[in-house]
Structure 1
Amino acid sequence: MSLDWLVADMVSIRGGALGHLRYVMKDTLQLIPLYGHYFYTHGCIYVKRGNFNQDKMIRSLDYLRDPKITVSVVWYRFTEVFVYYPATPKVIEKSEKFARDNNLKVLRHHLVPKVKGTWLVAQHLHDKFDAVYDVSVFYEGCVSPDGVRGNAPQLIEFLLGKCKKVHIHIRRIPMTEIPKEEEALKVWLHDLYIEKDELAENFFTKDSEKRASVQKRLGGCVSHLSPWSTLCSFLFFSAVTVPIICTSIGRQVYLYLLIYGTLGSYGWLAIRSVC
């Protein structure tokens, strides 16, 4: 499991926005028992890679226009569809070929950004947001001694301490600077990724001076999270979980909920959710 959703939570909790995140997610994530249905009812949008149902996505976006719903983030890995992994050369080659065929600059550390879904979000929620936050994430330990970039750490590797530091660069882009027309947005989005690619080029190298120049250029500071920020959530979920695990009735209720709740939610999502 990748870490990008965790980074989004890291950023949002420091901005007091945890709980207001709304994700555009790949459709396979709806298969997670119970959580798949929870994400949908929370306002997240499932999409299929490649072709998707535009009308369903528009209905989901119209739901998020409700002034009673506070939305902080909607874009989530959607501009790239696939995350850039050096271990998937065929995906990278396909992206590079697409760039050459469409007279776009070939990116070295990102895939060509997809514009269709991003355009729909920008078009239907343009007046809902004040700005878009462009987030670039760099994980320590992703470059081999000979300068070859490796994959970003997965969740289990992160929890085992194999990634000692995460560098997060955030840039605020006012909505007034984001085009509403699809073709103009396509050009703007690719130019944005060219800038991100140049930043990554100086980070994913064995040259420590270049990496230091990136950190110096971005500035920033170490951000520690106080234990008090998550203590209430920890106590709440502990109080709910312990009776379920430690009592036979609790385990039985959980088992029934897991089986029948999952089957029921699958049926509902099959009708309503996937774009």
Structure 2
Amino acid sequence: MLLSLVLHLYSLRSVLPAAVMLGSAPTYLLAWGAWRLLSACLPARVYQAVDDRLYCVYQSMVLFFFENYTGVQMYLVIFPEGTRYNPELTKVISASQTFAAQEGLPVLKHVLTPRVKATHIAFDSMKNYLDAVYDVTVAFEGTVDDKGQRKEAPSMVEFLCKDCPKIHIHVARIDKKDVPGERDFMRRWLHERFEIKDKLLIEFYDSPDPDRRNRFPGESVSSKLSLRKTLPSLLVLSGLTAGMLATEAGRKLYVKTWLYGTLLGCLWVSIKA
């Protein structure tokens, strides 16, 4: 009975960070709205400076949990495949491999076949503002089962529950002049980059040598933010939220902000889409 209780409580360990992060959203929205009104008569640069600071405070609070509660950092990654590789979606993987074979391209195991159209358009539009392209390969520890098969990448809840010990990121800098501008040449170049990714991931997940498994080649650098960069934001936003919820008027304002802010946000996303 006691063991069941302990296991149940352990399964709920993501509730605290999720509640704080989501619960502070209305506070941030109210603070932003108030500043928007107060700064209406001020120069745009003044509004922008404080707006950037407010956003930085909220993001620092989010990073507090990922850096100090879970030990995992966050990254935004754009995949030329158009979606994340999921070992459980066998039909997607099979279709990707079939497409590569039909196009005369090497079939990949741990990544999907990249599509060149969006990549080419993005590079062609931005090439005058770029110095280089960074090829980023991401791998997760703890995502191979007892049979040696890859599992799905960790979810947000699993990150907050510390189910992923480490995220490994391999970065290769490619000078702009080495990226082909013509679409057909870029198509081949992009697939070659993914062939390199595939070899890295085969070593990471499937290497028979334990010393080469769960690591990328090259020098390893551990990246972690200090507590002083994230804790103040957590305390400020949590304190403001708790103070608002302590009064009846504050609770009403909080609930209305949460409700109408969510509806307006959904409406805005629908319009932008």
TM-score scaled by length of structure 2: 0.65
- Tell me, yes or no, if structure 1 residue 207 matches structure 2 residue 224: no
Alignment check: 8 A CA contact 1:78 1:117 kept: no
3-state DSSP class of the match of 2:172? strand
Alignment check: 8 A CA contact 2:207 2:213 kept: no
Find the aligned partners of 1:245 and 1:208 in 2 and give their Cα distance. Answer: 55
What residue number does 2:171 align with? 170
Instruction: Describe the superposition over 1:162-182 as per-residue Cα deviations: whole angstroms up to 9, x where unpaired.
Output: 221222111222222223332
1:132-143 equivalent positions in 2, closer than 5 A:
132-143=133-144
Find the aligned partners of 1:198 and 1:265 in 2 and give their Cα distance. Answer: 42
What residue number does 2:38 align with? none
Going from structure 1 to structure 2, the CA distance change for 1:99 and 1:257 (only over 3 Å counts) comes to same
- Tell me, yes or no, if structure 1 residue 228 matches structure 2 residue 228: yes
3-state DSSP class of the match of 1:121? helix
Going from structure 1 to structure 2, the CA distance change for 1:209 and 1:267 (only over 3 Å counts) comes to closer
- Amino acid across the alignment from 2:201: A
Going from structure 1 to structure 2, the CA distance change for 1:214 and 1:162 (only over 3 Å counts) comes to closer
Using the TM superposition, name which of 229-238 and 141-150 deviates more: 229-238
1:1-275 equivalent positions in 2, closer than 5 A:
76-205=77-206, 207-209=208-210, 211-212=212-213, 214-215=215-216, 217-271=217-271, 273-274=272-273
- Amino acid across the alignment from 1:266: C
TM-fit CA distance, 1:213: 9.0
Find the aligned partners of 2:182 and 2:89 in 1 and give their Cα distance. Answer: 32
- Amino acid across the alignment from 2:226: S
- Amino acid across the alignment from 1:104: L
3-state DSSP class of the match of 2:106? coil
- Amino acid across the alignment from 1:225: L
- Structure 2, unpaired ranges of 5+: 1-24, 27-74
Find the aligned partners of 2:76 and 2:124 in 1 and give their Cα distance. Answer: 13
Q: CA RMSD in A?
A: 2.7
- Structure 1, unpaired ranges of 5+: 1-32, 35-73
3-state DSSP class of the match of 1:126? helix
Which of structures 1 and 2 has the bigger CA Rg?
2
Alignment check: 8 A CA contact 1:143 1:206 kept: no
Using the TM superposition, name which of 120-129 and 203-212 deviates more: 203-212
What residue number does 1:41 align with? none
3-state DSSP class of the match of 1:135? strand
What residue number does 1:52 align with? none
Alignment check: 8 A CA contact 1:244 1:250 kept: yes
TM-fit CA distance, 1:223: 2.9
Q: How many residues align?
A: 202
Going from structure 1 to structure 2, the CA distance change for 1:120 and 1:245 (only over 3 Å counts) comes to farther
3-state DSSP class of the match of 1:218? coil
- Amino acid across the alignment from 2:245: I
Going from structure 1 to structure 2, the CA distance change for 1:253 and 1:177 (only over 3 Å counts) comes to farther
3-state DSSP class of the match of 1:127? helix
Alignment check: 8 A CA contact 2:205 2:214 kept: no
Going from structure 1 to structure 2, the CA distance change for 1:154 and 1:250 (only over 3 Å counts) comes to same
Alignment check: 8 A CA contact 1:85 1:151 kept: yes
Instruction: Describe the superposition over 1:6-55 as per-residue Cα deviations: whole angstroms up to 9, x where unpaired.
Output: xxxxxxxxxxxxxxxxxxxxxxxxxxx99xxxxxxxxxxxxxxxxxxxxx
- Amino acid across the alignment from 1:114: R
Alignment check: 8 A CA contact 1:136 1:169 kept: yes
TM-fit CA distance, 1:83: 0.8
Find the aligned partners of 1:245 and 1:128 in 2 and give their Cα distance. Answer: 47
TM-fit CA distance, 1:225: 2.6
Alignment check: 8 A CA contact 1:204 1:211 kept: no
